[in-house]
Chain A
Amino acid sequence: MKAVLDFIVNEIFGQGAIFLSLIALIGLLLQKKSASEVIRGTFMTAIGYFVLNAGVEFVSGAVSDISKAFTTMMPQAVASKSVDIGADYGTQIGIVMIIGFAINLIFARFTKWKTVFLTGHMLYWFPFVFIAAGVDAGLSGAKLIILAALFTAVYMIVAPNLMRPLVKKVTGTDSFSIAHPTTTLSLIAAGVAKVTGDPKKSTEDLKFPKGLNFLREVSITGSIVILLTYLVMSLLLKLNGYSPAEVLDYDRAFTYYFTKTIKFGMGVTVMLLGVRMLIAEIVPAFQGIATKVVPGAIPALDCPVIFNMAPNALLIGFICALATSTVTILICTALNAFPTVVIPLAFTCFFEAGCAAIVANAYGGVRGCIIASIVNGIAMVLLVGFGAYFFNNTIQGWMLVYGGQDFSLWGILEGLIAKLIA
């Protein structure tokens, strides 16, 4: 009996891959899929789990040498430790995902907050971040799961309801909202643009060069930004009297920079594939349940669903935020403001700041869009920088690439509470 219990607790619920496949299996059965579809989907979810974790490892690995170079030059900086949250806490993430979503459904069913959080990858990443913030503060066991689940639930309810009026302003309809970590930046954008801009002069009346479209392939743009950061770091090492080859431990400079850059793009691609496989069966089940349980639900979706409303604003927001965030990073690094390095946030500038720029355009036209994006460029650096105090023992490497918005802000909030109860 004890052996059976031990098997169930440690080898079924203790294995993230198996636990998440179980969720997928139940989801597939609920959707009444054929036997072959059920088997395929269940296995793909388990494989996706490992693919995802491998991708996160590659991405963190590709940026780790940048942190190494930074801590060499700034001895007072704290080197980031890395705990593989996705691999070590897969089951906890799964449990938090289900509890958070269930609470969201209950609220949508019985209160006037009708949004249902349906952005697939964010259903994974928010529990991931909230588990990491708890682990970083020293929580474990039931306390960790309860706090992370509470934060996930509150986030899933609050953020899409805050986005709802902004989405309505952009699209003119109230049929959906957005479930995405852009919320903080989008709210800043709406406020700033309303005060500073003129909604009559829309970004979409501008003629924008088509050649800039390649910027939208973010795994490429991200890799280019990483390459430039490596080059700048190496230059800084040289200027400070270090040998980049020694600190970063390479023989051939070109090969080193080239592989680091491409491995980053590879890591991003692998990670996307993993998330996709992991959530492909879980989200349709969640959506099926939501439509049954909550009549009149407002689906809260991924931010690109409004990208076609203002493609010019998106690119203006990306470029302005990337430029100002880079300048802010340089200033903050010179002032020694943060305990660790911050690198340019290509993904956050595109998705979160880009979405915020579309919101800003609706509230304040071209001028509102530009000023809001500049403010957001500064805000995201401060969020990642101060977030380092709350993620440095766990996922700071990941945050350097994907943080600077709700992940950082809500993670900091949870970290503050977690430190009190740890």
Chain B
Amino acid sequence: MGEIKIQAVCGFGCGSSLFLRIKIDNVLSAHGLKARTFCGDVGTCCSADCDVIFISAELGERIKDRAKVPIVIINNFMDDKEVSEKVLAYFDTLK
């Protein structure tokens, strides 16, 4: 398996998704995991090349039928524990 590409998504792909991306990066480095993370907006995220999409609950609702990759719903972008658990759970599914 090549490099894993994680897309963090919000409405504009500039603000809250960037913050989520930073949090995901923190989890990755804390657990010695390797992946490339980048941000996307809800309008174009389904056409961007990635292996998994991290997104908020209400926006996830809108792309769940179109996305070709697994979607991970983050209810609270501010919650370190939730982000950490869900990132690790995603990596468990790859094993």
Contacts and interface: CB of A to CB of B under 8 A. Distances in A.
A272 B13 CA distance: 7
A231 to B, nearest CB: 24
Interface string B13-46: 1111011011001000000000000111111100
A269 B58 contact: no
Given A120-B18, A308-B57, A308-B58, A284 B13 contact: no
A343 interface: no
A276 B58 contact: no
Contact of B19 (A273, A276, A302): A302
Contacts of A47: none
Contact of A302 (B16, B25, B42, B62): B16
Contacts, number: 82
Contacts of B78: 175-176, 301, 305
B44 A311 contact: no
A276 B11 contact: no
B interface residue count range (under 10 / 10 to 19 / 20 to 34 / 35 or more): 20 to 34
A217 B18 contact: no
A280 B36 CA distance: 13
A251 B17 CA distance: 43
Given A175-B78, A284-B25, A218 B11 contact: yes
A145 to B, nearest CB: 25
A280 B37 CA distance: 10
A213 interface: yes
A275 B18 CA distance: 11
Nearest to B79: A175
Contacts of A284: 18, 21-22, 25
Interface string A193-226: 0000000000000000000010011111000000
Given A176-B78, A308-B75, A276 B16 contact: no
Q: Which 5 pairs of residues, A with B, have the shortest CB-CB distance?
A: A302-B15, A121-B14, A304-B16, A302-B16, A120-B18
Interface of B: 10-16, 18-19, 21-22, 25, 38-44, 56-58, 61-62, 75-78
